Amino acid sequence: MKRFYQICMALGATALISCGGGNKSKSTDEATSLTREEAIEEMLANLAEDERRDMEYLLENMPAADRDTMSLDLLVENVKYANIAKERFAWAGELPEEVYMNDVLPYFVVDEVRDSWRKELYELFAPTVDTCSTMESAIRVVNGNIPRLTGVDYNTLREKTNQSPKESMRQGMASCTGLAILLVDAYRAVGIPARFAGTLSWHDNRGNHSWTEVWLNGEWRVTEYYLPSKLDHLWFMPDASKAKVDDRLYAIYATRFGKADDWFPMIWAAPDETNPLVGLPMTIGGENVTQRYIDLAYEQYTRHIEAGTHTFLRIAGYANSQHTEHSGDRVAMGVDVFHGTEQMGGGLTAGPLRDMNDMFSVLLPKNQDYELRYYDAEGNLHRKSVTLKEEPITVNIFLAE
């Protein structure tokens, strides 16, 4: 009973009255509280030992807003399927306890609707990773298959920003925040530690962005919904290099379950869009990870830029030149970048399902002439000359010329 008493303490002062026993008469509210506490006690008594330990951790560390409202059936399903994944997949069973408790077990990511997702995502993704012998290979399999298995793609026409997995899967669409939530939960469903990361605003005030981190070999690695070519090599790293550690508006944060020294700034919950730092809820634990991103970006980009030798050529592909305003106007087009006879880079422009800030970019030596080579819808090869000077430039190419 001592452990149950501690959980009641975590559930608040009202709950403490009922947990303490005694002979005081109780109001209707207190009676309701007692009914819930009895249900919690019965729930804990019916769980296996490992499941009971996990449930107690969730009850003690869940956000205050969830304490009196969370469905106990949802919590039981969450705990049971987390343990099923831990038993099924070797990487999950080998995790440090703290990592498992904080980054696999939790039933939520940020402030999304608390609905059932773990069983459904487990059943979707467990068969795809059954043949994976390492967590690293499982990470790539989940990441590479999530659009196909969930039917969800990037689209700014989604109903809201902070969608739960069920909300996104019902619509078949989400923006970056909903996609990041869905990917975190898909990883967790198969015992892969994951958390949500993002910035309230990029350095140039063009808006926020959200993505996902996965825990691999003792460190957090960077990915997002559409599988990148390599972990930690994301299209937004040049912007991350300009984040500001000591300015919450421009810093980069990752979420943290349980005890946290800081809080995650959920920009979508800002009551005043003109002054987003005022009134932000401080209900989700966070960790300032800005310096790690600055360090990653330095190795990939910043050292070249600091040397004054390189800048970015960004390339956007559109169906035609008359419509270039919306994500639906964009098309994925293969393009190669040449300097004389030497190929400097190549890849696909971002299609309609990609974040609007995501463009195909190549870091190139300054003050030189380049040629873009690509094919139109009729299969005709086009060559577009571009002069890159001191500043980054964006060049549009079109499927229908």
| pLDDT at res. 230 | 87
| pLDDT at res. 107 | 98
Query: Would strands 360-365 and 262-263 be described as parallel, antiparallel, or unpaired?
Result: unpaired
Torsions phi, psi for 285 (to 5 deg) = -65, 150
| pLDDT at res. 19 | 36
Return per-residue pLDDT of the chain as tens, 401 residues.
445 545 555 554 333 323 333 333 343 344 444 588 899 999 999 999 999 999 999 999 999 889 889 999 999 999 999 999 999 999 999 999 999 999 999 999 999 999 999 999 999 999 999 999 999 999 999 999 999 999 998 888 899 999 999 999 999 999 999 999 999 999 999 999 999 999 999 888 878 999 999 999 999 999 999 888 789 988 888 889 989 999 999 999 999 998 899 999 999 999 987 888 899 999 999 999 999 999 999 888 888 888 899 999 999 999 998 888 888 899 999 888 888 877 787 778 988 988 878 888 888 999 999 999 998 988 888 999 999 999 999 999 999 87
Model confidence, pTM? 0.78
273-277: long-range contacts (C-beta < 8 A, 24 or more apart)?
Answer: 276/200, 276/201, 276/249, 277/200, 277/248, 277/249
Task: Please tell me the distance from the alpha carbon of residue 187 to that of residue 85, in angstroms, as a whole number.
Answer: 11
| pLDDT at res. 327 | 80
| pLDDT at res. 7 | 59
Structural domains in the chain plus CATH codes: 98-300 (3.10.620), 308-398 (2.60.40.2190)
> For the chain, how many residues are written?
401
Task: Please tell me the distance from the alpha carbon of residue 397 to that of residue 107, in angstroms, as a whole number.
Answer: 44
Other C-beta atoms within 10 Å of 310: how many? 18
Tell which phi-psi region holds residue 295, choosing left (phi > 0), alpha (psi between -120 and 50) or beta.
alpha
Task: From residue 73, give the alpha-carbon distance in Å to each of 39, 43, 55, 92, 260.
Answer: 10, 9, 12, 23, 27
DSSP character for 329?
G
Which ranges of 111-216 does DSSP label H, i.e. alpha helix?
A: 118-129, 135-150, 165-171, 176-189
Between helices 2-10 and 28-45, what is the axis angle to 10°? 130
Task: Please tell me the distance from the alpha carbon of residue 194 to that of residue 185, in angstroms, as a whole number.
Answer: 8
Other C-beta atoms within 10 Å of 159: how many? 12
Is the Cβ–Cβ distance between 285 and 110 less than 8 Å? Answer: no
